[in-house]
Structure 1
Amino acid sequence: MRDTYSVSSDDESDFEDSLQPNVKKRTAKQPLRITPMPKHRKKGFQTECCNGQKEAAQPLANDLFDAVKAARSDMQQGEVRLKCLKALKGLYSNRELIARLELFTSRFKDRMVAMAMDKEYDVAVEAIRLLTVILKNTEGVLTNADCEIIYPIVYASNRVLSSAAGEFLYWKLLCPESEARVGGGREQERYRSLHAQRSFFYLLMAFFMKSELHEHAAYLVDSLWDCAGFRLKDWENLAGMLLEKDQNLSNVEERTLIEILVSSARQAAEIQPPVGRVTGKKGLTAKERKLQANDKAKLSEQLIPLLPQLLTKFSADAEKVAPLLQLLNYFDLSIYCTGRLEKHLELLLQQLQEVVVKHVDPAVLEAGAHALHLLRKPEFTFFNRVDFTLSQLMELLTGHFKQDLNELLQSSFLDEDEIYSLATTMKRLSAFYTAHDLTRWELYEPCCRLLRKAVDTGDVPHQVVQPALTLVYFSILWTVAHFIESAASKNQLLSLKDRMTAFCELCQSCLSDVDPKIQEKAFIVLSDLLIIFSPQMTVEGREFLQPLVFSPEAALQSELASFLMDHVFLQSEDMSSGHSYFEDDEQIEQLHHRRRLLSGFCKLLLYGVLELDAASDVFKHYHKFYRDYGDIIKETLTRARQIDRSHCSRILLLSLKQLYTELLQEQGSQGLSEQPAFMEMRDLARRFALSFGPHQIQNRDVVVKLHKEGIKFSLSELPPAGSSGEPPNLAFLELLSEFSPRLFYQDKPLILSYLDKCLQQVSQIPSPPWGPVTTYCHSLSPVENTAQGSPQNRLQSKTSHIRGRGTSSTPSTSSISSTSSSQEESLQLSSVPPTPTLTSTVLRNRQPLVTVGKKEEEDGSRLEFVYRLPLSRTQQSRHSGALYFGVPPALPSPGQDSPLTCLRLMEEDEEELGILNESSEEWQDADKEPGSPSSLSEHGLDLLDTTELSIEDISTWKR
Structure 2
Amino acid sequence: MGFIWLSLFGVAILQCVYAPLSHSGSSGDIPAKDTPGLESERWTEWYTRDRVSIFATNRVRISAIVPQTWPGPYWNPDGCNTGMISLQLLGTVTGIPVIEAIKGNDKLIPHVVKLWVERYEMEPKPAMDELLTMLFQACGAKDYNKGDLVDENDVDDVVVALVNYAITVLFDKCMDYITALSCTPPRVYRQVASLMGLQLVTSYIAIANVLGGQRETTRRQLDAEKKKRNERPSLESLNKRFSDTHENIRLLEEMMRKIFTGLFVHRYRDIDPTIRMSCIESLGLWVLSYPSLFLQDLYLKYLGWALNDRNAGVRKTSINALQNIYEPNDNVPSLGLFTERFSRRMIELADDIDVSVAVCAIGLIKQLLRHQLISEDDLAPLYDLLMVDPPEIRLAIGALVYDHLIAKKFNSSKSAPRDNSSEVHLKRMLRLLEELPRDPILSIYVIDDVWDYMKAMKDWKCIVSMLLDENPLIELSDRDASNLVQLLCASVKKAVGESIIPATDATDDGKQYHNRAQKEAYESNKQDITVALMKSYPLLLRKFISDKEKVSSLVEIILYMNLELYSLKRQEQSFKNILQLIKEAFFKHGDKDTLRACVKAIDFCCEESQGELQDLACNKLKELEDELISKLKSAIKVVVDGGDEYSLLVNSKRLYELQLMISVPIDNNLYDDIVMVLRGFRNMEDEVVGFLLLNMYLHMAWGLLSIINEEIVYEESLDSLLYKRDTLLQELEYFCNLGTDSMEGGKQGSELACRVCIILSEIWFLFRRENFFETVLERLLYEPNDYVLRKYWKLCEQQLNVSEEEEDEDEDTNGEYFQETNRYVVLTAAIKVVAFDAVPKEYLASEIISHFVMHGTSVAEIVKHLITVLKEKDDDLAAILLEALKKAYNRHVVDISGCETDSADSNSLSGCKDLAAQLSGIFIGADRTKHKADILEIVRGGIEYAFVDAPTQLSFLEAAVIHFVPKLPASDVLEIMDDVLKRTENVNTEEDPSGWRPYHTFISLLEKYVKNDGNQEEKEEASVSRRGHSRKPQNMEGKKLFHDQSSSDDEDSLSEYEEDVDDEEGGEEEEDEDDPLTDSIKSSSKTSGSSN
Q: Same fold (TM over 0.5)?
A: yes
Change over 3 Å in CA distance of 1:66–1:281 after alignment to 2:
farther
Q: Which residue of 2 aligns with 1:476?
A: 700
Does the C-alpha gap of structure 1 residues 760 and 490 become closer, same or farther in structure 2, counting only changes over 3 Å? farther
Give the residue type in structure 2 aligned to 1:33. Answer: M
Q: Distance in 2 between matches of 1:99 and 1:597?
A: 65
Gaps in structure 2 of 5+ consecutive residues: 1-248, 743-749, 1025-1029, 1031-1092
Partner in structure 1 of residue 920 of structure 2? 689
Match of 1:624 among 854, 859, 868: 854
Q: Where does structure 1 lack aligned partners over 5 or more consecutive residues?
A: 1-25, 719-726, 787-826, 828-877, 890-898, 900-959
The alpha-carbon distance between structure 1 residues 401 and 587, as it changes in their structure 2 partners (threshold 3 A), is closer
| Matches of 1:31 and 1:580, distance apart in 2 | 74
Q: CA offset at residue 748 of structure 1?
A: 0.4
Per-residue deviation, residues 114-152 of structure 1 (Å, max 9, x unmatched): 21122211111100011213333x2x2121122223222
> How many angstroms apart in 1 are the aligned matches of 2:992 and 2:801?
44
Partner of 1:203: 428
Question: Match for 2:396 among 151, 164, 176?
Answer: 164
SS in 1 for 2:452: helix
The one-letter amino acid paired with 1:111 is: R
Higher relative contact order (CA 8 A, sep 6+): 2
- Is the 2:490–2:500 Cα contact (8 Å) retained in structure 1? no
Whether 2:574 is the aligned partner of 1:344: answer yes
1:527 matched residue in structure 2: 761
Structure 1 match to 2:780:
548
1:448 touches 1:472 (CA, 8 Å); kept in 2?
A: no
Identity in percent: 19
1:94 aligns with 2:328: yes
Verify: 1:46 aligned to 2:281, yes or no.
yes
With over 3 angstroms needed to count, the CA separation of the structure-2 counterparts of 1:142 and 1:585, relative to structure 1, is farther
1:742 aligns with: 967
Residue 565 of structure 1, CA deviation: 1.6
SS of 2:711's partner is coil
2 CA distance for matches of 1:206 and 1:248? Answer: 13
CA displacement at 1:167 relative to structure 2: 0.9
Alignment of 1:262 with 2:262, yes or no, is: no
Match of 1:116 in 2: 350
Relative distance call for 1:581 and 1:128 in structure 2 (3 A) is farther
Deviation at 1:763, TM superposition (A): 7.4
- Confirm or deny that 1:454 pairs with 2:689: no
Map Cα deviations across residues 694-722 of structure 1 (whole Å, 9 max, x no partner). Answer: 3321121111111111111111125xxxx
CA gap of 1:375–1:588, structure 2 versus 1, over 3 A, is closer
The offset of 1:544, in angstroms, is 4.3
**Match of residue 607 from structure 1:** 836
Structure 1 residue aligned with 2:909: 678
Distance 1:298 1:459, change over 3 A: same
Structure 2 Cα separation of the partners of residues 334 and 474 of structure 1: 33
Deviation at 1:66, TM superposition (A): 5.9
1:423-822 alignment to 2 at 5 Å?
423-439=649-665, 441-442=666-667, 444-455=668-679, 458=682, 460=684, 462=686, 464-491=688-715, 492-513=717-738, 516-538=750-772, 543-573=775-805, 593-613=822-842, 614-644=844-874, 647-668=876-897, 671-695=902-926, 696-718=928-950, 727-735=951-959, 736-760=961-985, 762=987, 770-781=996-1007, 783=1009, 786=1012
Report if the CA contact (8 A) 1:61-1:103 is conserved: no
Report the CA distance shift for 1:521/1:498 in structure 2 as closer, same or farther (over 3 A): same
Cα 1:333/1:537, change in 2 over 3 Å: farther
Matched residue of 2:941: which SS?
Answer: helix
Q: Distance in 1 between matches of 2:992 and 2:796?
A: 47
Q: Which residue does the alignment assign to 1:721?
A: none
CA distance in 2, matches of 1:116, 1:503: 57
Give the whole-Å Cα distance in 2 for the aligned partners of 1:151 and 1:361. Answer: 32
SS in 1 for 2:310: coil
Kindly provide the CA deviation profile for residues 661-680 of structure 1, in whole angstroms up to 9, marking residues without a partner as x.
34334535984334333233
| TM-score, normalised relative to structure 2 | 0.63
**Residue 33 of structure 1 pairs with residue 268 of structure 2:** no
In 1: Cα distance, 2:517 partner to 2:713 partner: 52
- Judging changes above 3 Å, is the alpha-carbon distance between structure 1 residues 581 and 43 closer, same or farther for their aligned structure 2 residues? farther
Q: Does 1:369 align with 2:599?
A: yes
Amino acid of the residue matched to residue 331 of structure 1? M
Partner Cα separation in structure 2 for residue 403 and residue 271 of structure 1: 41
Q: Once the two structures are superposed, what CA deviation does each residue of 1:466-494 show, in whole Å capped at 9, x if it has no partner? A: 33222222212222222233323151335
> Post-superposition shift, 1:623?
2.0
Cα separation, 1, equivalents of 2:864 and 2:557:
40
The residue that corresponds to 2:563 in the other structure is 333
Distance 1:591 1:217, change over 3 A: same
* Cα distance per residue 1:639-685 (max 9 Å; x no partner): 2222226x233222212222323433453598433433323322222
Q: Secondary structure at the match of 1:729?
A: coil
Q: Name the CA distance, whole Å, in 2 between partners of 1:561 and 1:141.
A: 64
Describe the shift of the 1:484–1:243 C-alpha distance in structure 2 as closer, same or farther (beyond 3 A). Answer: same
Q: 2: distance between equivalents of 1:407 and 1:573? A: 37
- State the 1:761 CA deviation: 6.7
Determine the C-alpha separation between the residues in 2 that align with 1:711 and 1:220.
61
1:823: which partner in 2? none
Distance 1:82 1:63 in 2: 21
- SS of the aligned residue for 2:607 comes to coil
C-alpha separation in 2, matches of 1:494 and 1:884: 65
Asked if the contact 2:294/2:300 (under 8 Å) is kept, the reply is no
Structure 1 residue 259: deviation in Å? 1.2
Is this contact kept in 1: 2:970–2:1009, CA < 8 A? no
Q: Is the 8 A contact 2:768 2:782 kept in 1?
A: yes
The correspondence of residues 387-398 of structure 1 with structure 2, limited to 5 A, is: 387-398=618-629
1:205-284 to structure 2, matched below 5 A, reads 205-212=430-437, 213-228=439-454, 230-244=455-469, 246=472, 247-270=474-497, 272=499, 274-276=501-503, 283-284=513-514
Asked if the contact 2:563/2:609 (under 8 Å) is kept, the reply is no
Aligned partner of 2:217 in structure 1 is none
Looking at structure 1, the residues matched to 389 and 777 of structure 2 have their Cα atoms a distance apart, in angstroms, of: 46
Question: Does the 8 Å contact 1:741/1:885 carry over to 2?
Answer: no
Aligned partner of 2:977: which letter?
Answer: L
Q: Which amino acid aligns with 2:458?
A: K
8 Å CA contact retained: 1:326, 1:371: yes
Change beyond 3 A, Cα 1:303–1:512: farther
Counterpart Cα distance in 2 of 1:573 and 1:134: 46
One-letter amino acid of the counterpart of residue 353, structure 1: K
Deviations 1:1-26 (A, max 9, x none): xxxxxxxxxxxxxxxxxxxxxxxxx9
**Paired residues of 2:599 and 2:657 also in contact (CA < 8 A):** yes
Moved more, 337-346 or 120-129: 337-346
SS in 1 for 2:859: helix
Give the TM-score taking structure 1 as reference length: 0.71
Relative to structure 1, is the Cα distance of residues 517 and 75 closer, same or farther in structure 2, using a 3 angstrom cutoff?
closer
- The 1-side partners of 2:530 and 2:432 are apart by 28
Cα displacement string for residues 238-297 of structure 1 (whole angstroms, at most 9, x for unaligned residues): 121111074442222221111111111111112546234799998433332222122121
Shift of 1:176: 4.3
Greater C-alpha Rg = 2
User: What letter matches 1:116 in structure 2?
Assistant: A
Question: Is the partner of 1:512 in helix, strand or coil?
Answer: helix
Q: Relative to 1, partners in 2 of residues 1:607 and 1:588: Cα closer, same or farther, differing over 3 Å?
A: same
